Amino acid sequence: MPGPPASLEAVFTEAFADLREVRESTTYALSTHEVGIVTSVSTGIARVAGLPNVGFEELLRFPGEIYGIAFNIDEDDIGVVLLGNYWQLQAGDDVERTGRVVDVAVGEGLLGRIIDPLGRALDGQGALVSDERLPIERPATAIMDRARVSEPLQTGLKVIDALIPIGRGQRELILGDRQTGKTAIALDAILNQRGQDLVCVYCAIGQRASAVAKAVAVLRDNEALAYTVVVVTEGNQPPGLSYIAPYAATSIAEYFMEAGRDVLIVYDDLTQHARAYRELSLLLRRPPGREAFPGDIFYIHSRLLERATHLREERGGGSLTALPIIETEAQNIAAYIPTNLISITDGQIYLSPTLFELGVLPAVDIGQSVSRVGGKAQRAAYRVAAGDLKLAYAQFEELETFVRFGARLDEATRQVLEHGRRIRACLKQPAFAPVSVPAQITLLLALGEGLFDSLPLEKMPAAEQALYDAAATLPETICERFISANTLSDEDRQAVLDVVRQALLPFQPVADDAAIAAKEGAS
């Protein structure tokens, strides 16, 4: 039975009082959203109007979860570099500011994964597991936070570790014509880091999908993918992704470096990166310069490679070693982009098409290759074993050119030529077959002593393999001194050479008794 009207009025009064109290205690947070309009869309870029407060390189959101970077901030409109498939965009679409710059996921969860520069997984293994994101553009380490480059990064390639050593924290350029083995050298360096507690980042920039698949297959087959992060942009993707790819890969590498670990990053290749930037710049109507590249092409590469360094112990002692790759045309290393990068990096490894055609693999031209860190980042045993090797090989190459004119040779010159041919044969190496440090030093000691000079050239591969097998039997104490900072003693050197002589004994030529008798009779 309903109560009296007075009680009903009290209920309404109490209810309205509660509503009034809730309304007065509630504060509404107002958020502003700047929304602009697409005025035009072309290959890889868009023109946007109506965003007066946008910042340089700010990330903008387009319909369909497509993102772009504000690249040209003009008085009337904004030139935006698009980072996705822009086919469905059209004039009149809304554009929204995000208030942040481009960033990428970083962390241990990226090891063994294949991603794009925006941090999206491409390997079909689910979403990335990461608790942190870093901007792709970060300032390089301050000078006072850097330490000198003193620890070697072994590539497993005899010609590089012995003659063109690379240190942890160095930037070593790999350049050469098409199909001369540039990527193979970089992959060899990654494969040789297995078991070395070193993280690798392989950045494929604008590559063919088949080339990327082949590189990933090599890493997977050699169990190197577990400690490698692969960042991929393919040639048919927008140029904006190719432009940001090396910066994103470097931020991923810097995460591990700042955690105190040693990192190797490969940029394959920066020629495609420069071409992508040139395409974007021309579309945005930036003034072209030499070879139609914009004037700041040097800056985009220098600010990238300056991030490679060796940190001081107070900063964790980590290092970031960079191996940028450049493709030359008709062996022209004086072109615009190669000369830029040669001046930025700490040395270069030049691959010669002539050597490649002769079957000298890896086709490293020792005369035009250099490491500006050099022996300061090389193990002491290497300096002892390979001290005169580069000079002897250079003399051989000069004499070999001279001999082509049919000159008559004396015995000393003939010995130099024979010794040089053995050096060339020993520096040959198949792809994806790195050689250990003890085996390399044993081989270099044998070369320096001329133990191969009496062997026929056709027996060199078998003799070299026998030497590697013998190096595996060396005492553990000698192998440890190979790796330590101490130089080899005379006793260690003699012990190694005795083992080598015994291993090469079956390959020595057998003297012909009749020939010996004839020679004695003539004398």
* CA distances in angstroms from 375 to 328, 384, 435, 438, listed in the order given: 28, 11, 19, 18
pLDDT at 25: 80
pLDDT at 514: 44
Pairing verdict, β 319-327 and 262-268: parallel
Q: How many CB atoms lie within 10 A of CB 128?
A: 16
**Using an 8 Å Cβ cutoff, are 464 and 196 in contact?**
no
- Specify the DSSP class assigned to residue 288: B
pLDDT at 521: 52
**Using an 8 Å Cβ cutoff, are 429 and 443 in contact?**
no
Residues forming beta bridges with residue 97, ordered by sequence position: 60
Positive or negative, the CA dihedral 163, 165, 170, 174 is positive
| 372 assigned to active site | yes
| CA-based nearest residue to 377, from 321, 445, 419 | 321
**Using an 8 Å Cβ cutoff, are 59 and 83 in contact?**
no
> What is the signed CA dihedral for 33, 38, 41, 45, rounded to 10 degrees?
-30
The helix or strand, by DSSP H or E, that contains position 301, with its residue range, turns out to be helix 297-305
* CA distances in angstroms from 123 to 115, 131, 137, 142, 268, listed in the order given: 7, 20, 25, 36, 19
* CA distances in angstroms from 74 to 55, 90, 279, 290, listed in the order given: 11, 21, 19, 24
**Using an 8 Å Cβ cutoff, are 402 and 420 in contact?**
no
**Using an 8 Å Cβ cutoff, are 197 and 262 in contact?**
yes
Query: Residue 245 CA to chain centroid, in angstroms?
Result: 12
Cα separation, 100 vs 59, whole angstroms: 6
Q: How many CB atoms lie within 10 A of CB 260?
A: 13
Cβ-count burial of 42 within 10 angstroms (0-12 exposed, 13-18 middle, 19+ buried)? Answer: exposed
Give me the tens of pLDDT residue by residue for the chain, a chain 523 residues long.
455 555 777 888 888 888 888 888 877 677 777 899 999 999 899 999 999 889 999 999 999 889 999 999 988 899 999 998 888 899 999 999 999 999 999 999 999 999 999 999 999 898 888 889 999 999 999 999 999 999 999 999 999 999 999 999 999 999 999 999 999 999 999 999 999 999 999 999 999 999 999 999 999 999 999 999 999 999 899 999 999 999 999 999 999 999 999 999 999 989 999 999 999 999 999 999 999 999 999 999 999 999 999 999 999 999 999 999 999 999 999 999 999 999 999 999 999 999 999 999 999 999 899 999 877 888 888 988 888 888 888 888 888 877 777 667 788 888 889 999 999 999 999 999 999 999 999 999 999 899 999 999 999 999 999 999 999 999 888 888 888 767 778 888 899 999 999 999 999 887 544 444 444 554 4
**Using an 8 Å Cβ cutoff, are 83 and 240 in contact?**
yes
Cα separation, 10 vs 91, whole angstroms: 60
pLDDT at 485: 64
Q: Which of 61, 133, 261, 372 is catalytic?
A: 372
Query: How many helices (H) and strands (E) in the chain?
Result: 17, 16
Q: What is the pTM of this model?
A: 0.90
**Six-digit token string for 67:** 């993102």
Cα separation, 202 vs 266, whole angstroms: 5
Pairing verdict, β 94-101 and 58-62: antiparallel
Cα separation, 485 vs 490, whole angstroms: 16
**Using an 8 Å Cβ cutoff, are 308 and 171 in contact?**
yes
pLDDT at 461: 92
3 state DSSP class of 424: helix
What would you report as the CA-atom Rg of the chain, rounded to the nearest whole angstrom?
31
Pairing verdict, β 78-82 and 66-73: antiparallel
Cα separation, 235 vs 223, whole angstroms: 27
Cα separation, 146 vs 54, whole angstroms: 35
CA atoms within a 13 Å half-sphere pointing along the CA-CB vector of 392: 21
Cα separation, 314 vs 145, whole angstroms: 8
| CA-based nearest residue to 137, from 109, 102, 161, 172 | 102
**Using an 8 Å Cβ cutoff, are 449 and 497 in contact?**
yes
pLDDT at 479: 87
pLDDT at 20: 84
**Six-digit token string for 202:** 């392989």
Cα separation, 19 vs 325, whole angstroms: 69
**Six-digit token string for 521:** 């009779």
